[in-house]
Structure 1
Amino acid sequence: MSKIRTFFLIGLLVLLIGVVVGVVGMVMADTNLLASSQFFLIISMIIMLWGYVITLDNIDKNVARNVELMKSLLDTMDKGQK
């Protein structure tokens, strides 16, 4: 399973926990549970964003490697034409 999918699923799980805590906080009228719900929301967003950043970093590395290979291929083709 890809990294972004793993981080996204973990983020969704944390978000689901936050929703459950928020609903319980509304039913029981407990401000501490509502604050905890917001905490879980923030944590889930951070987890999902971190997965996105890691994925973009991997894409950047792959693109840089492909550019190097393309330059090498073009140099080889130029040498072959001379």
Structure 2
Amino acid sequence: MSKIRTFFLIGLLVLFIGVVIGVIGMFVPDTTMLASSQFFLIVSMIIMLWGYVITLDNIDKNVARNVELMESLLNTMGKGQK
């Protein structure tokens, strides 16, 4: 499983927990439940963004590697035409 998918699923799980706590907090007169719900929502956003940043970093590395391979291919083709 890819890293982005793993982080996204973990983020969705934390988001679901936050929503459940928020719904319970709406019916139970306790402000700590709503605060906990907001905390879980913030944590889920951080987890999902972290997965997105890691994926962008991997894409950047792959693009840099592809550019190096393309330059090597062009150099090889240039030598073959001489």
What range describes the TM-score normalised by the shorter chain of this pair? over 0.9
Q: CA RMSD in A?
A: 0.5
Where does the alignment leave 5 or more consecutive residues of structure 2 unmatched? none
2:53 is equivalent to residue 49 of structure 1: no
> Number of residue pairs matched?
82
Runs of at least 5 residues in structure 1 that lack an aligned partner in the other structure: none
> Could you tell me the percent identity over the aligned residues?
85
Q: TM-score, with normalisation over the residues of structure 2? A: 0.98
The match for 1:38 is 38
Provide, for residues 33-70 of structure 1, a one-character-per-residue CA deviation record: whole Å limited to 9, x for no partner. Answer: 00000000000000000000000100000000000000
Tell me the amino acid that sits aligned with residue 26 of structure 2: M
Question: Whole-Å Cα distance in 1 between the matches of residues 26 and 20 of structure 2?
Answer: 10
Moved over 3 A (4+): none
Q: Secondary structure at the match of 1:10?
A: helix
